[in-house]
Amino acid sequence: MNLSSLKPAAGSVKTRKRIGRGPGSGLGGTSTRGHKGAKSRSGYKNKIGFEGGQMPIQRRLPKFGFKNINRVEYKAINISTLQQLAEAQNLSKIGIEELVNAGFVSTSQNVKILGNGNLTLKLEVAAHAFSKSAETAIQNAGGVVVKL
């Protein structure tokens, strides 16, 4: 075996369709474009959403809904997650920095603490928002809630 005898595997390489090279090729004449019409001609470019003159779907369907420009998105963290994090890293204060280091949130995200799970440790928790159940659960365990 040498470099001059190398060939691609059988059936792995197809020859390109050479369109518009005369009737003998079988692909001459209309060159696979059909007969007449805009699509058969050079320079044809279809408009986005054009459906052949039929009323396009974006005009048939009505507008609906709206985007609230004042919406604030929060990354939800449960109390059970705080309990596990505090036990694993032996923490008494949990803020945004600790959650970022643990990989739960990114620095650009707002955090909301939710009340799912049980909290037995006395923690000082700092976050952007708290649900009522989370706030009471933290305070019942002897902890402190700090809103940023």
The full length of the chain comes to 148
- Find, among 111, 80, 115, 83, the residue nearest to 96 by Cα: 111
Q: What top-level class would CATH report for the domain 74-147?
A: alpha beta
- Per DSSP bridges, beta strands 74-78 and 93-94 are unpaired
Copy the structure tokens of residue 86.
């505090």
The one-digit pLDDT tens for each residue of the chain (148 residues) are: 899 999 999 999 999 999 999 999 999 999 999 999 988 999 999 899 999 899 999 999 999 999 999 999 999 999 999 999 999 999 999 999 999 999 999 999 999 999 999 999 999 999 999 999 999 999 999 999 999 9
CB contact at 8 A, 113 and 100 = no
Q: Please, are residues 100 and 106 in contact by the beta-carbon 8 Å criterion?
A: yes
Segment holding 144, helix H or strand E: strand 144-147
The pTM of the whole model exceeds 0.85 = no
